[in-house]
Amino acid sequence: MDTTRVLYVIDSLAPGGAETSLVEMAPGLRENGIDLHVLALGPRDDLRGDLERAGATVHPPSPHQGRAGNVGRVVTVGRDIAPHLVHTTLFEADIAGRLGARLLRVPVTGSLVSDAYDATHYAESNRVKLRAAQSLDAATGRLVSRFHAVTAAIAGSVAPRLRIRADRVEVIPRGRDPEKYDFRSPQWRARVRAELGIAEGTPVVLSVGRLDPPKGLHHLLAAVPHLTASHPDLVVLVAGKDGRASDALRATVAEHSLPVRFLGHREDVPRLLAAADAFCLPSSREGIGGVLLEAMAQGCPIVASSIPASREVLAEGECGTLVPQGDPVALARALDDVLVARGVLTDTVARARRRFETEYAIDPINARFARFLESQAQKA
C-alpha cells in the first residue's frame, strides 16, 4: 500500500506531552506515507491549527458525552474515512479506539506514554476507581495488535500491569526537531531575559510542566531557600498550565517570599531554556519527559529526579545530574553545582546534545514510527 490511512485517536488537543509530541510527529509521518486523521475526544482543540498546518485532517469530537458517545464517534469517522489502522493514545482514547476499531474490523495499535497505575498514582487517587480503570484498560488491551512505548522504562512497568506480553511492545521514543533549537544561543538568551526583566548575571532555574503533584514542584520550592543562601539574586521560573497543585504552590511562594515566577503555559520553551542556567525536572513519574529532550537540544544543564524514565533519557546521569526523588536538599546541592559553573560548556551538556542528536532527533524517529504503523495496517 502506497499510503497508510491512520485514524489517530487521542483524549484532547490541549497542550500536553502526548499532544505536543503528536504535533511534532505529524509532518514527518505525512512525509513517510501516513495519511494522518486525528480524532480528539475532548472539546479542547488548542493544537488543531498546528496539526492542520502539518497536513493532518482533524475531525471534531462527538456531541454526545461519555464513552458510548466516544465509541460511536470513532465508528462514524472510521466509516467515513475507511482507515487501514486505528491508533490510540491516552486512556479514554484507548478504550474508545479499541472498541471502535473492533466494530470497524480494523487493526488497532496503542501508545504507552505513562505509568498511570504505579504506586504513586494509587496513593494520589481513588483506589477503587483506578483499579476499575486498570481492569478495563487490561481487558480492552487484548484487542490491540501491537503496542508502542515511549521508553523501555514505561514498557517494563506498564506491560506487566496490563498483562501485555513483552513481545507485543515496541519501544520508539518521542523526538524533537533539532532545527527548532539554537544550541546555547546568546541571542535568544539576551532577548528572553530582557523580555522577562532579568539581568544577564542573574542565576535562573527553569522548570516546565503542569502544576500537578506528580511534577514535584513542591520539592523545588523547598530547595529554593537552600539555594538563595549562596545565590541571593536567584530567580526561579515555572512554565506550565494550572493544575491540582496550583493554589498550594502559589501559597508556598507567597508565605515564604520565594523568588519564583509562574509564567503559565508557554509556546517558547526552547527560548526559555536558552535564558536559564539550569533546568530542573523534580517529577515523581514521567513517560519520557519531553522537555528533557528540549533541554538536551538547547544545551541547558539538567537536574532531574532519579526516576526510571529520566535515568533512561539521561543515560544514567551521563547527560544530566540525577538526584533522589523527593529530596529538596539533594536537589538544592545539585542545582548549586550547576549555577556555580554557569556559562561553561561542560562535558555533561555536550554529551547531552550529542545524545539528543543520535537518539531523539525527530526524522529517524518519525520513520520508525511510520514503519510501525504500516506494519500493523498490513495485518488487516
pLDDT tens string 226-240: 999 999 999 999 999
CA distance 167 to 169: 6
- Residue 126 is predicted with a pLDDT of 85
**Beta-strand runs (E) in 106-192:** 108-112, 146-149, 169-171
User: Spelled out in words, what is the top-level CATH class assigned to the domain 4-175+361-377?
Assistant: alpha beta
pLDDT tens string 333-351: 999 999 999 888 889 999 9
CATH number for the domain running over 178-360: 3.40.50.2000
pLDDT tens string 299-325: 999 999 999 999 999 999 999 999 999
pLDDT tens string 74-131: 999 999 999 999 999 999 999 999 999 999 999 999 999 998 888 777 777 788 999 9
Confirm whether 4-175+361-377 and 178-360 share one CATH topology: yes
pLDDT tens string 187-204: 999 999 999 999 999 999
- Residue 139 is predicted with a pLDDT of 98
Q: Give the range among 17-31, 56-70, 111-125 with minimum mean pLDDT.
A: 111-125
- Residue 88 is predicted with a pLDDT of 99
Residue 30 amino acid letter: R
Mean pLDDT of the chain: 95
- Residue 106 is predicted with a pLDDT of 98
- Residue 26 is predicted with a pLDDT of 97
Task: Dump the DSSP string for 280-331.
Answer: EE--S--SS-HHHHHHHHHT--EEEE--HHHHHHTGGGTSSEEE-TT-HHHH
| Closest-CA residue to 243 (of 70, 51, 14) | 14
End-to-end Cα spacing for the chain: 12
**Whether the predicted pLDDT of 243 surpasses 90:** yes
CA distance 328 to 29: 41
For the chain, the structural domain boundaries read 4-175+361-377, 178-360
**Whether the predicted pLDDT of 327 surpasses 80:** yes
Q: 191 and 306 in contact (C-beta within 8 Å)?
A: no
pLDDT, mean of residues 170-188: 95
- Residue 1 is predicted with a pLDDT of 57
